[in-house]
Structure 1
Amino acid sequence: MSKYAPLSDHLAERVDDQWRASFAEIEMVLGASLPKAARQPAWWIGTDKSHQKSWLDHGWRVSAVGEGMVSFKRTVAHEVQPPALKAASETASAQVHVRQAAGVAALVGGAIALVAGLGVLAAKVIGARKSV
């Protein structure tokens, strides 16, 4: 197991597509100190080192490095949807269907009222013609 596997796992479990972390936060995730070379942006940028592969292999890249901070960005679409977001999406979808059904019912009800009103008006006009 690579020394950087915990960082790789951490990034793989994230639901958002970006993570900006301090070196201290990354060291907490790793459970170990970063090497002195990690203080240099070149350590983070690239594709051929084993530590770089730990995030690249899971669809992440380093988008910025500076002032003791590293920004990671997901490079591939993230398909995992958090349960709360999924539930909210399904609830919103159900609400849209209810609103659409209510809208159709209101439209049909309005059309029936209009036809009934025209029928009453026609009956009055016919009744008025017969009495003339």
Structure 2
Amino acid sequence: MSARTPTPAYPMTIFHKPNCSTSRNVLGLIRESGVEPEIVLYLETPPSKEKLRALAKAMGVGARDLLRAKEAPYEELGLADPKWTDDQLFDFIATHPILLQRPIVVSPRGTLMCRPWARVREILPSA
């Protein structure tokens, strides 16, 4: 479920985890730029496999780049093994959204994995 609606003049979406400091920093920079983004609490409303595929394509990365290796399911499921295809990895992330690397931000200027958090400046509205 989304907590807020986007600012019509500059629509942005953040795939957000509120207790993640990086995610909170990114959200703060977006708001400081004058934009109130759509906030997708992806642990409550996980993105579909199709949405994950679209986000990866928009960022020019593969499914493995969306994985957060520090989470328990990563090791438990043996996701470091190169045998897994992108299709299978997208399935794992859709089933276990805690595996999604965060935060991902979508804006008119592009889609980015905002790690480090200051990367979000690349896609904020121009000053």
TM-score, with normalisation over the residues of structure 2? 0.22
Q: 1 or 2, which has the higher helix percentage?
A: 1
Bigger relative CO (Cα 8 Å, ≥ 6 apart): 2
Larger-gyration structure (1/2): 1
TM-score, with normalisation over the residues of structure 1? 0.22
